[in-house]
Amino acid sequence: MKDLNAVHLNGLRAVEAAGRLGSLKAAADELGVTIGAVSQQIIKTEQQLGRVFFERSPRGLVLTPAGESLMPRLKGGFEMLDQAVASARRRDESILTISVAPVFAARWLVPRLDRFAGLFPDIRLRIDATTTHANLETSDVDIGIRVGSGQWPGVRLELLLEQEVFPVCTPAMAEKLKEPADILQCEAVIDGRSMFSWETWLKEVGLSGRQMTARHVFNEASLCLDAAIAGQGVMLAWQTLAAYALSVGQLKIPFGVRVKTGFAHYFVTSPNRRETRTITAFKTWVREEIAQTRDGL
C-alpha cells in the first residue's frame, strides 16, 4: 500500500464525497466539516497526485476525465471500508454482556440464572461484576444495572426498583425485638461504603439522632450480610441484597418499617444503540423476578 501512503485518507474522503454529491456544501455537510476544509482537502489531494479532479462551474463541481476515472474505484473502496467498520461493530446477539455490582450479582442475580437459562436457552449471559461504570459506547457491555440517584450522563435510564432499607437479623435475635427502640440495644454490622446510614431508618421510627453501636465495619455489603447471618449483629439491608437469606429463613425482618433511600436500581443502556431481542428478553425477565422479590418480602 505504498501508493496509499502518498495521500491523506481525509483528502480522498473529500474527493469521493464531493464527486458523489456534486457540491462542496453537500460534501461538507456529510463529513461534518466546513466548505473551506473540503476545498482545501481536495486541492491538497490533487497536488499530491498531480491530477485535477474537478472543474468549477455555475452548476457546481464537474468531474474532469481524471476524476471520472478515479471515482468508481474510490467510491467502491470507501463502500468496502464502510462495510468493514459495520462488520467490526456487529455483535453476536446470542451473547448478552451485563455489567452489575458484585453484591447484586452474587446475592440476587446469580442464584436466579438457571431460571433465565430455562426460558432463553439460546442466550448466553456474560456477567461483568464490577463497581466501575462501563462505557456503554466503547465497551462490549450491552446493558448495566446500577444503583444510585440516576444522575449519570450519556446513558439511557429505566427505573427498575426504588431502594428501600430495613433492619435484618437472625430469627433468634428478632424474637427479642418487640419495638423499634429495642434495636438500639443491639450491635450493628456496618457497611462503611454505604450510600445511606442508620439515621435513614431511625428517623422514620422516631429515633432520629440516636446511634447504633457498631460491632464490625466492612467495606462490602455482602460481608455485612454474612456477618448478620452468622448472628454478629443487625444490618440495615435492602430488597435485592437480603431477598434470598430472608426466603430461606437465615434472616428475618423484625419490624415492618421500610424506608426509601432516594436511590434506586436502574437499567442503563447506550442511547445510540438499538435494543436487541436479547436485551429486551433480559429486561422483561429481570422485571418479573424483581416483582417476585418485592412481593416475597
Q: Give the domain-ending residue among 33, 56, 89.
A: 89
Judgement on whether residues 67 and 123 belong to the same structural domain of the protein: no
Judgement on whether residues 149 and 231 belong to the same structural domain of the protein: yes
Residue 43 sits in a domain of what CATH number? Answer: 1.10.10.10
Report the pLDDT value the prediction gives residue 92, as an integer from 0 to 100.
Answer: 63
Is it the case that residue 89 has pLDDT exceeding 60?
A: no
Judgement on whether residues 155 and 70 belong to the same structural domain of the protein: no
**pLDDT tens-digit readout, 220-262:** 999 999 999 999 999 999 999 999 999 999 999 999 899 999 9
Judgement on whether residues 104 and 127 belong to the same structural domain of the protein: yes
Is it the case that residue 60 has pLDDT exceeding 80?
A: no
Domain count, the chain: 2
Average pLDDT score over residue span 111-137:
92
Q: Are 163 and 263 in contact (CB under 8 A)?
A: yes
Domain range for 54 is 4-89
Distance CA 124, CA 108 (A): 18
> Cell 429486551 maps to which residue?
280
Average pLDDT score over residue span 87-113:
85
Report the pLDDT value the prediction gives residue 104, as an integer from 0 to 100.
Answer: 95
Judgement on whether residues 104 and 84 belong to the same structural domain of the protein: no
Residue 134 sits in a domain of what CATH number? Answer: 3.40.190.290
- Of 218, 214, 249, 248, nearest to 234 by C-alpha is 214
Judgement on whether residues 43 and 162 belong to the same structural domain of the protein: no
Most trustworthy range by pLDDT among 28-42, 129-143, 163-177? 163-177
Q: Give the domain-ending residue among 67, 89, 111.
A: 89
Amino acid at 19: G
Judgement on whether residues 59 and 105 belong to the same structural domain of the protein: no
Judgement on whether residues 156 and 269 belong to the same structural domain of the protein: yes
Judgement on whether residues 67 and 120 belong to the same structural domain of the protein: no
Is it the case that residue 81 has pLDDT exceeding 90?
A: no
Q: Give the domain-ending residue among 89, 114, 141.
A: 89
Query: Which residues fall within 8 angstroms of residue 207, CB to CB, at 6 or more apart?
Result: 180, 181, 184
Judgement on whether residues 120 and 194 belong to the same structural domain of the protein: yes
Is it the case that residue 47 has pLDDT exceeding 60?
A: yes
Judgement on whether residues 52 and 146 belong to the same structural domain of the protein: no
Report the pLDDT value the prediction gives residue 283, as an integer from 0 to 100.
Answer: 97
Report the pLDDT value the prediction gives residue 88, as an integer from 0 to 100.
Answer: 59
C-alpha torsion 21→25→31→37, nearest 10? 130
